[in-house]
């Protein structure tokens, strides 16, 4: 009788503390309540500790949740689930798996609330073998299959690059919604399997803006710029309104192909829909305008930005540098120094490039040294390349060569090519030969290097050198990347490759080229007759 009375009183105390915990608003209050729970010898109550762990989860106090858990000698499934959820939400995936294994050792069988979080942690760890084991446990322990668990399994396999297993889960799903379709679609896109992704996309009964954006982004990342633009236009034709992520996905294509009109439309659309508050989208617009030749418009976007990050400043500095506006690039860098944003490696690439193109030797050397002394940044191969270019353009060829010899990394073809170009500019054939020897080791089949050396000899009137280089070219099988250009007409971008006759209008193009060539020849003949007269 006394024992049952004691149990009853403990139950009353538990309910009383549970009512108090329901009104707990902060960790300070929780700790006071916890001290009282300890005082009444209820610290091993899974019922109360589970509630306290949930409060810790709300306030992101994982450490305190662990301490609470350790006080319970025989935790039940509900307490394990609470702590597993807490760790999974904080991406503490290893500890989640550890707790799961501990459950199994104690013969506490997981349920429908356990697996969504354990499965998510397996995906976070990208462990395919572990993921398959957990998937097997779902069947072993007879956990009732539901949409949440199936979606979690699909997402897990996608994150672990187990796309075949993910597709099997998808095929066996009780109910497939647009999120499930998008999950599998992302899996194929992530692996670069765009043909399979396109097949799946075409089969989708319902496509959301996420589906369209995923395809545009996939084509962009895989370098299929024309397909990305086509998909974006199809999205518009389907009446799906792009969100800011859709615009961010297609802007790099506009940058690569020089599709300025589409870029302007994206800018207008973003402004109209309030997307210009997104810093990353503004950064992409700045790069698009700068690389499309419209540096003034790039500056306008930059100047109107609400928040600028290091990418914003760096992109603008690089844009000004590429447009030959060295003084403006330096001035902008000085403005950046007045802010709390610290420059990064890309900022200095733009800054040093600006100094190189303008021939600002002293400024360039000072900024190069500033990387390490003021910002603790280690110069990379790109920074040394800019410095070699700067020294070469200002006539310091000997210093440029000495710098190359003392680089902390192996000089690449860009650095030796930069020195070779400077040698031609300054008429130093002897050093050009040195640069050429190294280029031949790095790029023995690149015809452009031989042509450049031949031109250097020709500029100096050394026809014997020209003859030797031409013999080398004839004696080797040279490779040269075909020229590529693009033109935008009525918001459609057409790419042209040198020698490509696959276009339906190729015949017309080559006819016009022949007409232009014959016109040029006729003009030269007429000019020659006039001169002879």
pLDDT in tens, 377-432: 999 999 999 999 999 999 999 999 999 999 999 999 999 989 988 988 888 888 88
- Answer whether 334's CB lies under 8 Å from 367's CB: no
What confidence tens digit (pLDDT) does each residue in 168-202 have? 999 999 889 999 999 999 999 999 999 999 999 99
Nearest to 181 by CA among 201, 165, 162: 201
Q: What are phi and psi of 487, to 5 degrees?
A: -135, 140
pLDDT at 1: 39
Q: Six-digit token pair at 152? A: 């979690």
Whether the CB-CB separation of 214 and 186 falls below 8 Å is answered with: yes
- Range in 165-169, 233-237, 342-346, 486-490 the model is least confident about: 486-490
Q: Tell me the whole-structure pTM to 2 decimals.
A: 0.79
Question: 45: which 2 tokens?
Answer: 């109550």
Whether residue 446 is predicted with pLDDT greater than 70 in this model: the reply is: yes
**What are the structure tokens assigned to 22, written together?**
């329901």
Compute the average pLDDT of residues 482-488. Answer: 57
Work out the mean pLDDT of the chain and round it to a whole number: 88
Look up residue 254 and give its two tokens: 């506009």
The residue with greater pLDDT, 366 or 499, is 366
Interhelix angle 310-322/326-337, rounded to 10 degrees, is: 160
Say how far apart CA 188 and CA 145 lie, in whole Å: 25
Q: What is the pLDDT of residues 71-86, one digit of tens each?
A: 999 999 999 999 999 9
Pick the closest to residue 476 from 510, 498, 451 (CA basis).
451
| pLDDT-derived band at 491, boundaries 50, 70, 90 | low
Q: Residue 506 pLDDT > 50, yes or no?
A: yes
Q: Burial letters for 238-264: b for 16+ Cβ neighbours within 10 Å, e otherwise?
A: eebebebbbbbbbbbbbbbbbbbbbbb
Say yes or no: domain 380-483 is CATH 1.25.40.10: yes
Most confident of 6-15, 237-246, 454-463: 237-246
Distance CA 342, CA 309 (A): 9
Average pLDDT over residues 316-321: 97
Looking at residue 530, its pLDDT comes to 35
DSSP run (H or E) holding 496: strand 492-497
Residue pair 445/433 in contact by the 8 Å Cβ criterion: no
Write the burial class of residue 205 (CB in 10 Å: 0-12 exposed, 13-18 middle, 19+ buried).
exposed
**Averaged pLDDT, 354-380:** 95
The contacts of residue 52 (CB under 8 Å, 6+ apart) are 21, 30, 33, 34, 65, 68
Residue 530's CB is within 10 A of a number of other CB atoms, namely: 8
pLDDT at residue 497, rounded to an integer? 60
CA dist., res. 148 & res. 527, Å (int): 80
- Evaluate whether 167 touches 183 at the Cβ level (below 8 Å): no
Eight-class DSSP state of 489: E
Degrees, nearest 5: CA angle 373-376-377: 110
The answer to whether the Cα torsion of 430, 435, 440, 445 is positive or negative is negative
Q: Quick one: pLDDT band at residue 469, thresholds 50, 70, 90?
A: confident
pLDDT band, very low/low/confident/very high, at 527 (cuts 50, 70, 90)? very low
Domain ranges of the chain: 380-483
Token pair recorded at residue 107: 């013969």
Of the ranges 50-54, 91-95, 493-497, which one carries the lowest mean pLDDT score? 493-497
Average pLDDT over residues 488-514: 63
- Judged by DSSP in three states, 265 sits in helix
Q: Which residues of 491-523 are buried (b: 16+ CB within 10 A; e: fewer)?
A: eebeeeeeeeeeeeeeeeeeeeeeeeeeeeeee
Q: Distance between CA atoms of 453 and 472, rounded to whole angstroms?
A: 11
Residue 138 pLDDT > 60, yes or no?
A: yes
Rounded to 5 degrees, what angle do the CA atoms 333, 408, 391 make?
Answer: 55
Residue 139 confidence (pLDDT) above 90: no
Alpha-carbon span 185 to 286, nearest angstrom: 30
If we measure between CA atoms, which residue out of 175, 192, 116, 194 comes closest to residue 148?
116
């Amino acid at each position: 009788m006394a024992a049952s009375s004691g149990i009853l009183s403990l139950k009353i105390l538990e309910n009383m503390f549970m009512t108090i915990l329901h009104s707990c608003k902060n960790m300070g209050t929780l700790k006071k309540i916890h001290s009282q729970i300890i005082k009444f010898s209820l610290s091993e109550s899974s019922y109360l500790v589970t509630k306290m762990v949930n409060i810790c989860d709300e306030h992101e106090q994982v450490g305190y949740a662990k301490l609470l858990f350790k006080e319970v000698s025989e935790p039940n499934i509900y307490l394990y689930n609470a702590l597993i959820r807490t760790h999974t939400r904080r991406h503490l995936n290893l500890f989640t798996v550890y707790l799961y294994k501990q459950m199994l050792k104690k013969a506490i069988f997981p349920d429908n609330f356990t697996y969504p979080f354990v499965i998510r942690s397996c995906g976070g760890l990208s462990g395919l073998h572990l993921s398959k084991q957990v998937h097997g446990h779902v069947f072993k322990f007879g956990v009732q299959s539901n949409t949440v668990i199936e979606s979690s399994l699909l997402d897990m396999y996608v994150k672990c690059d187990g796309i075949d297993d993910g597709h099997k889960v998808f095929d066996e799903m009780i109910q497939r919604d647009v999120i499930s379709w998008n999950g599998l679609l992302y899996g194929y896109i992530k692996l670069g399997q765009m043909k399979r992704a396109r097949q799946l996309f075409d089969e989708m009964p319902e496509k959301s803006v996420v589906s369209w954006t995923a395809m545009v982004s996939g084509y962009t990342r895989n370098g299929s710029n024309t397909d990305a633009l086509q998909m974006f236009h199809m999205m518009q034709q389907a009446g799906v309104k792009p969100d800011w992520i859709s615009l961010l996905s297609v802007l790099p294509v506009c940058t690569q192909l020089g599709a300025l009109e589409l870029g302007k439309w994206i800018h207008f659309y973003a402004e109209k829909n309030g997307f210009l508050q997104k810093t990353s989208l503004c950064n992409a617009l700045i790069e698009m305008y700068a690389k499309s030749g419209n540096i003034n418009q790039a500056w306008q976007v930059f100047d109107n930005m609400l928040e600028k990050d290091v990418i914003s400043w760096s992109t603008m500095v690089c844009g000004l540098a590429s447009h030959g506006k060295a003084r403006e690039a330096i001035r902008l860098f000085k403005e950046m120094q007045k802010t709390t944003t610290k420059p990064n490696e890309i900022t200095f690439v733009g800054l040093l490039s600006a100094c190189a193109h303008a021939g600002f030797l002293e400024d360039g050397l000072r900024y190069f040294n500033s990387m390490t002394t003021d910002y603790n940044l280690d110069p990379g191969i790109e920074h040394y390349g800019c410095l070699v270019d700067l020294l070469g353009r200002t006539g310091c060829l000997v210093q440029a060569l000495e710098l190359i010899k003392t680089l902390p990394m192996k000089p690449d073809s860009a650095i030796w090519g930069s020195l070779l170009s400077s040698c031609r500019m300054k008429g130093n054939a002897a050093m050009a030969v040195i640069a050429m020897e190294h280029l031949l080791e790095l790029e023995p089949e690149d015809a452009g290097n031989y042509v450049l050396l031949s031109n250097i000899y020709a500029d100096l009137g050394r026809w014997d050198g020209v003859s030797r280089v031409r013999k080398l070219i004839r004696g080797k099988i040279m490779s040269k990347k075909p020229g590529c250009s693009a033109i935008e007409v009525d918001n459609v971008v057409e790419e042209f490759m040198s020698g490509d006759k696959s276009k339906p209008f190729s015949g017309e193009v080559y006819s016009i080229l022949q007409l232009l060539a014959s016109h040029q020849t006729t003009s030269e003949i007429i000019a020659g007759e006039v001169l002879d007269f």
